[in-house]
Chains A and B, each alone.
Chain A
């Protein structure tokens, strides 16, 4: 909603109120100022009058004008097609600094002296109104020759754009905003300078008839008139340009202005649309098949009340026989209808749905006054009304109730003053109770809390003292918070382990997912209105997002990257599952002195270590993969406590190339099964540990896990742990490889002797030979 200070000042007296106070007040009463701009026509641009105008001797399109600027008459050459004798114009005199940067000085144009410039609206910094120079008229004030335009209010004004909240349809007009400002500043509306409306003595009944049987959900008022030579005064043109009114038709522009001022929905129809010949117009109101109150002409519909108008019913010219309509329909009623049956709507529907003003007499009078001012009009006597029996809403509330919502002590007298200034009638007031009658335009006020809000708004929230809430303490720890803490715990571990946390949209491209072999949400459960094709389904994995981010980093020069995300993914049944995902790409460390600038590429062993440092000890088994991201021979299921919790793999070489990456590994684990519990300490041996290495010959195709299982089964209690430390292939070993295992031995009772150690190792060797046929190298 765009207004200017001058425009508001026309309705209420804002003299003595600074723009800062006005903006602050609008904000504090809940009319948020979205934008404020002061605009002013530059100095030395004055009112002039063209006293003579002749063709330029050497240029067809130029005119040579004598322009009276009060103190002198200047010869000015002008190229505008609308320049003519008698016209009041904006004259930029010598020295004027134009918004374009041009400085006006006397020049010769095609040999003719020109001392100044006649300006268009755009040339003096306003929105362009029409082709040619701006034509001044008395709507902007008294036209005193020589007066600088910057001394005229509408050329030196403050534009204020208000972001209205959805409930304040009543403020979609100058009248509505002024109503709120009256209450805020405790002032009254200015006495309106009423234009005299005279009818032509002929009754409206001779012109038109309205049939509205069975219509009880709209209010309408009709007037009839004969119209000719409608023209818009400059002030209205300037304001319509500010609010960017799209209408082309002069009459409709004028009604648009009247609606903008009054808040009442106004439409004009061509009389002929309702009459077959010269007879009187027959207007018929009925509900259409969708349930909307609709106005019908002799052939077809003319308008859906408050929603839309048939172009065929519009007044095409700026003259002729016109039916003028003011209408109201309750916003909640029309919104429900619209929800049930969406029909095309025009710009006025926005007002209808937010709550237009139902004071049809006021709106119609504003429109008629303007028509009397701006056209030759012959108005038929009387009006035709379709009325509703609407009762004003009553709300009973007490001072204490209002103060309980606010948390402060607002006096009854102040409450009464605020409500009355907002147009609420205090129907009854006994003791601390009020019965409040809500004005018809405040459809948003339905209960006590709404009334409290009006008080809060006008008192100013900043004037309410803050108070701590007193409550009973309570243990509010719960399982959701525990999950949050667990998530925090693992996020911190990952960050300390060198991974960067990333956050991605939960959307993926279904086609990409399917190409990569992921199971997507069942079609029947998928998104109805995705925002783009690349985000047309919910992700079943974190890995695609992580891969894309790694690729983006690589393309921006970060070839080495370690990212993680803890986030939701969705299975085929669209159940939300929390996962933790990782991507590691490039090198194991930065290029540095230590590696002479040649760090090693990430490899499986390195990545497994990094993942374990975040999620805890992991066991790896060959991957039973179902998607195409994984390298066929470097992929693993991740196990914890014997249960598969996720996967770890090298990115498939084809995809590595496709995503423009160096060697890349990815991992995803099920977050819910990661451990998060208090640790229990166990007793540990106080005696020294011993180490023994065994080098075994094992067949190339034997998995280490097979060896491991046999050792675990046969190892004595003194074997604390064992792990592979070397794997060596050589032609001399044939189809075998040499694998060195390191054993850590320790007893709870004593420091182990060589004999004890040898016996332990012997048992293991014997078991390996017996079950797997393995021998020492």
Chain B
């Protein structure tokens, strides 16, 4: 019997174990033969022989089971090992597409203002003189019209030069209080390193009771907004001029590149101009027939925000569909 223990121990494949199992436990197996010999043994020895054989039977069964489990594990391990790969071969670049940095920036801006309970309004790109200029306190002979080179159509319509006409439309078709932003594409007849004939703006307008809306309110929301967009920057307001607001201001943030030290991007001033704003001029309210109201308005260029936030150097590259730029925003 002893020899079988060694044989089981020496087996290397699960399939070889079955032959041994039959040789030991089968009807014609070793154990059956040993038990058969018992009938020739003296009676007083039978009990001892049977006991010994049963012990062998038990031990061999356990050994066989144990061996089988072990061999199965080994074989599984070997099978898996055969499937081994060099995972370092498969480092993978992202295959997804991306949102355009300007559009994604616009989304972030819209998200901020809608969370501040501003309504979102859009309007047509093709506008008339009234909505784009006249109603915004820009009569035809106004010197400020020089500031905006306008695309005109043959029938005297024009491509909107800002999203402000959306504010006029909103004021004309609803009643105060108004709390809105107007995101969208705008057009100026200008094309060089720092100007493109189309770009995007988000403009905001708040209209409420006369005497209720102040410059201090405008400062509050714009400071909060700029901190949301640019993080921990200093914000500076400079008095300026826009025909549709009075008082007006331009808003600067401390340069995010040099942190105010002075660099090429901020023309060594330490400040970056990012917004225009002001208290809505009474002539604008007159144009839409609003009485006893006050309000503020602001406007920003989305491309400028996107370029500053994402450190994009070339404005024109934003309109070329160049994957070398776009794939960086996956």
Chain A contacts to B: CB under 8 angstroms: 27-30, 32-33, 35, 165-168, 331-332, 335-336, 338-339, 353-354, 401, 404-408, 447-450, 452-453, 456-457, 461-462, 464-469, 471-474, 476-478, 480-481, 483-484, 488, 491-492, 494-507, 523-532, 535, 545-546, 548-550, 552-553, 556, 558, 561-565, 568, 570, 574, 576, 589-590, 593
Contact = CB atoms under 8 A, between A and B. Distances in A.
A478 B319 contact: no
Given A471-B177, A498-B95, 8 more contacts: A166-B144, A406-B216, A407-B215, A496-B96, A501-B99, A502-B321, A528-B154, A549-B322
Contact of B143 (A28, A32, A166, A499): A166
Contacts of B152: 527-529
Contacts of A496: 96-97
B258 interface: no
A452 B323 CA distance: 50
A404 B214 contact: yes
A32 B125 CA distance: 32
A672 to B, nearest CB: 13
Contacts, number: 260
A549 B219 CA distance: 41
26 contacts: A165-B241, A166-B241, A449-B279, A450-B246, A453-B247, A457-B247, A462-B236, A466-B219, A466-B223, A469-B220, A469-B221, A471-B179, A473-B117, A476-B118, A477-B119, A494-B97, A503-B102, A503-B318, A504-B319, A525-B157, A526-B153, A527-B151, A527-B153, A531-B190, A535-B197, A545-B321
Interface in B273-330: 279, 281-282, 294, 318-324, 326-327
Interface in B243-293: 243, 246-250, 267, 269, 279, 281-282
A576 B126 contact: yes
A558 B216 contact: no
A155 B216 CA distance: 44
B140 interface: yes
Given A405-B247, A471-B177, A484 B282 contact: no
Given A165-B240, A503-B100, A505-B319, A469 B206 contact: yes
Contacts of B211: 401, 404
A447 B282 contact: yes
B90 to A, nearest CB: 7
A667 B141 CA distance: 46
- For the complex of A and B, the 9 pairs showing the least CB-CB separation, nearest first, are A407-B214, A407-B216, A549-B321, A30-B239, A165-B241, A453-B247, A476-B119, A461-B237, A502-B321
The range of chain B's interface size is 35 or more
A408 B247 contact: no
Nearest to B118: A476
Contacts of B118: 476
A501 B320 CA distance: 11
A488 B104 CA distance: 9
Contact of A406 (B117, B189, B214): B214
B125 A568 contact: yes
A505 B247 contact: no
Contacts of A449: 246-247, 279, 281-282
Given A469-B213, A480-B120, A32 B321 contact: no
Given A464-B219, A466-B223, A478 B189 contact: no
A501 B103 contact: yes
Contact of A335 (B142, B177, B243): B142
Nearest to B119: A476
A553 B197 contact: no
A30 B241 contact: yes
A405 to B, nearest CB: 6
B326 A502 contact: yes
Contact of A33 (B99, B190, B269): B269
A166 B242 CA distance: 8
Given A474-B117, A476-B118, A503-B319, A453 B107 contact: no
Contacts of B180: 476
Contacts of B96: 495-498
Contacts of A495: 96-99
Contacts of B65: none
B326 A461 contact: no
B40 interface: no
A32 B238 CA distance: 8
Given A480-B122, A505-B319, A506-B125, A464 B326 contact: no
B321 A546 contact: yes
A461 B185 contact: no
B90 A469 contact: no
Contacts of B100: 500-503
A579 to B, nearest CB: 14
B216 A466 contact: yes
A548 B321 CA distance: 9
A35 B125 contact: no
A548 B322 CA distance: 10
Which of B103, B152, B190, B282 has the most A CB atoms < 10 Å from its CB? Answer: B103
Contacts of A466: 216-217, 219-220, 223
Contacts of B117: 471, 473-474, 476
Contacts of A498: 95-97
Given A502-B100, A503-B103, A504-B319, A167 B216 contact: no
Contact of B120 (A331, A456, A481, A532): A481
B97 to A, nearest CB: 4
Interface string B210-235: 01111111011101000000000000
A531 B102 contact: no
B238 A405 contact: no
A467 B141 contact: no
